[in-house]
Amino acid sequence: MSDEEYYMIEKQTITMHPIQTTGLILDIGGGGEGIIGRLNGRGVVAIDTRIEELAETKNDSIKIVMDANDLAFSPTSFDVATSFFSLMFIKNKNHQRVFEEIHGVLKSEGIFYIWDVRIPSRNLDKLIFGLPLKIYVPDQKIETGYGVGWDNKEQDFTYFKKLARRTSFDIITEWSKGEIFHLKLMKRVHNHQDKKNQTNDDRSRHVQCHG
């Protein structure tokens, strides 16, 4: 791809720290720089559809070729899931499915951390949206760039917040800085219980009516 085909936004900067958990972390799209694997090492199961991306990473995570649209783990296997600039690489039409899959493999009140970028709708004659990124991890600075086909890729903070609520996540923390943003989501568990309780209530009401 020639430079003319890229729409590069200004360089964004992010500082990352190890994720505070004693449990297992599922990193979606964990190839490339493999930032989450660098931070949390063996506590991370990195999945990626591309074996070359996983082979490129230099960290101690467990690496598995797998599609986030179809997570082949038992339900409630993970305490934490992460997506570090990976949702931008997943087709918008598949985002809801991916959120549902992640919800399924997280434990009750499991946490889903998202770091991603605002992508405006394509309004220029450029094919690729490019994000230059400076990442500070403890004792290291990484300069990288993530580029993705720009068609049908518009996404922002509000878009993912809506998706989170629709797929039964609660929003715990959020921030945005320049063009990048972060969401900390928690798997909502009371929904199912509420439904169960409601069904029981309905039943008892029903019994009373006919009692």
Which range, of 64-72, 120-128, 152-160, 187-195, touches ligand SAM by CB under 6 A?
A: 64-72
> What's the token pair of residue 149?
């086909």
What is the smallest separation between the CB atom of 91 and ligand SAM, expressed in angstroms? 8
| Contact between 43 and ligand SAM per CB under 6 A | no
Instruction: Give how many residues touch ligand SAM by CB under 6 A.
Output: 22
In terms of DSSP bridges, do strands 106-117 and 180-187 run parallel, antiparallel, or are they unpaired?
A: antiparallel
Q: Is 85 in the site for ligand SAM (CB under 6 A)?
A: yes
Contact letters for ligand SAM, residues 152-191 (x by CB under 6 A):
----------------------------------------
Phi and psi at 126, nearest 5°, equal -120, 145
* DSSP states along 12-27: EEEE------SS-EEE
**Residue 57 Cβ, how far from ligand SAM at the closest point, in Å?**
8
Query: Among residue numbers 115 through 154, which ones bind ligand SAM (CB under 6 A)?
Result: 146
Backbone angles phi, psi at 196, to 5 degrees: -60, -45
Query: Do 168 and 187 meet the contact criterion of CB atoms below 8 Å apart?
Result: yes
Q: Look up residue 208 and give its amino acid.
A: Q
41-49, 118-126, 161-169, 179-187 -> range binding ligand SAM (CB under 6 A): 41-49
32 touching ligand SAM, by CB under 6 A: yes
Query: How far from the centroid of its chain's Cα atoms is residue 204's Cα?
Result: 41
With beta carbons less than 8 A apart as the criterion, state whether 171 and 183 touch. Answer: yes
- Report which secondary-structure segment, H or E, holds 200: helix 190-210
Closest contact distance (angstroms) between CB of 52 and ligand SAM is 8
Give the C-alpha separation, 96 to 87, whole Å: 11
Closest distance to ligand SAM from the beta carbon of 60 (Å): 14
3-class secondary-structure state, position 133: strand
Pairing outcome for strands 12-15 and 6-8: unpaired
14, 33, 40, 81: which one binds ligand SAM (CB under 6 A): 33
Quick one: which segment of 15-23, 42-50, 72-80, 182-190 binds ligand SAM (CB under 6 A)?
42-50
- Give residues in contact with ligand SAM (CB under 6 A): 28-35, 47-50, 53, 67-69, 84-86, 89-90, 146
